[in-house]
Amino acid sequence: MLSEGRKGHEIQSMTLAKHLGIKTFLHIFNLRQPWEFLTPRIIPSFQNGLQWHNGQPDFNTSPDIIITTGKKAAAVGKYVTERFRKQSAQLKHIQILNPKDNSNNYDLLLIPEHDQKSGSNIVTFAGSIHPFSPQWFKEAKHSSTHQCPSLAIIIGNPPTQYFRQSFKNELQKIRLQYPGRPIIFCGSPRLSKRVIDEIKALLTPIDTFWFNKKDGLNPYKHLLQQSKHLYITADSLNMLNEGASSDIPITLLAKHYIQNPKHHRFIESLAYRWQGFEKNTTKSIVPPRYTLDKILKDARFQKLLNSPFSSSKG
């Protein structure tokens, strides 16, 4: 697997590799300008702009599959695939997310439905690829010794004006919906210190928080499993998709600050999953079909897996 170090991208690649059951090597790279700006195109002397953080791939031994996620990794994946194919024509390159490139440059493309792209080698899916399967949620609930009675507010990195204009009002609505309930605030490490301080100023003595490693272990996974109600800022497709896979009520925060039409289409595709701020609701809670199941069962994916490979590495 090839990654520019973005954890959200690495999670998608790692999740797919894990379900394929192949031996996995992760190579993290950095691309200098102008090569980075022109991705996914590969311009002359591409290798001069490529730096490996943890060692470059062993070009003497060809893997079976190269998995990349995102536009930058797509370019590096094409470059690495071309070098390996001088040894093995059986190597396959799987690209996750729309690289905004000719689909014929890849053996298989896994692209979110909200990108509205189709083709003979394109498998579409809802949201993002993530490791939180229905079985994971089921096992977590059965293995837990107690339920978490708390509410959870999961904060990505919405525009700063959200915190000046709307966050306090939405927090008041949550407290009115569940009077006297403790709230766990779980924020992205990308949040600025100023925003974190503004959030902390609104906490009550029974609330708790996590914003970075200094606050202890990240409770994110536990909150997905056990919270009474999840409140998630709408800026992160990954968080929304992972939360929607649970059977916990979910309310979107900061949804009016989303400008991207594709982002809106994704939110609307799971409209049945989002709750309001009402105290009582009769809306059914039905988790969506697990994204990876759809991908793995697709005939095009099965055809790629059933084609001959040259080794046991990925």
pLDDT computed for residue 98 by the predictor: 94
Looking at the fold, whether 24 and 116 belong to one and the same domain comes out as: yes
Spatial neighbors of 124 by CB under 8 A, at least 6 apart, are 110, 111, 112, 113, 115, 117, 118
Residue 78, number of CB atoms within 10 A of its CB: 23
Q: Give the domain extent around 161.
A: 134-275
> Is 124 within a domain?
yes
pLDDT computed for residue 22 by the predictor: 74
Query: What kind and span of H or E run contains 67?
Result: strand 65-69
Query: Are the CB atoms for 64 and 94 separated by under 8 Å?
Result: no
**Sequential DSSP letters for 132-162:** --HHHHHHHHHH-SS---SEEEEE----HHH
Looking at the fold, whether 36 and 144 belong to one and the same domain comes out as: no
> Is 202 within a domain?
yes
User: How many domains, in total, are found in the chain?
Assistant: 2
pLDDT computed for residue 312 by the predictor: 36
Q: Tens of pLDDT along 176-233? A: 999 999 999 999 988 999 999 999 999 999 999 999 999 999 999 889 888 889 999 9
Query: What kind and span of H or E run contains 229?
Result: strand 229-233
> Is 143 within a domain?
yes
pLDDT computed for residue 169 by the predictor: 96
> Across the strands, what pairs with 52?
29
> Is 181 within a domain?
yes
> Is 187 within a domain?
yes
Looking at the fold, whether 124 and 154 belong to one and the same domain comes out as: no
Looking at the fold, whether 124 and 184 belong to one and the same domain comes out as: no
Residues of the chain with confidence (pLDDT) below 70 = 88-89, 140-149, 279-284, 286, 307-314
Looking at the fold, whether 153 and 234 belong to one and the same domain comes out as: yes
Strand pairing class (250-253; 108-112): unpaired
Looking at the fold, whether 260 and 221 belong to one and the same domain comes out as: yes
pLDDT computed for residue 294 by the predictor: 84
Strand pairing class (208-210; 65-69): unpaired
- Phi and psi for 240 in degrees, rounded to 5? -65, -45
Looking at the fold, whether 194 and 270 belong to one and the same domain comes out as: yes
Looking at the fold, whether 187 and 153 belong to one and the same domain comes out as: yes
> Is 89 within a domain?
yes
> Is 286 within a domain?
no
Q: Rounded to 5 degrees, what angle do the CA atoms 87, 49, 25 make? A: 50
Looking at the fold, whether 167 and 258 belong to one and the same domain comes out as: yes
Looking at the fold, whether 204 and 247 belong to one and the same domain comes out as: yes
Whichever domain contains 252, its CATH number is 3.40.50
Looking at the fold, whether 125 and 150 belong to one and the same domain comes out as: no
Query: What kind and span of H or E run contains 12?
Result: helix 7-20
Spatial neighbors of 120 by CB under 8 A, at least 6 apart, are 300
> Is 284 within a domain?
no
Looking at the fold, whether 190 and 260 belong to one and the same domain comes out as: yes
pLDDT computed for residue 314 by the predictor: 43
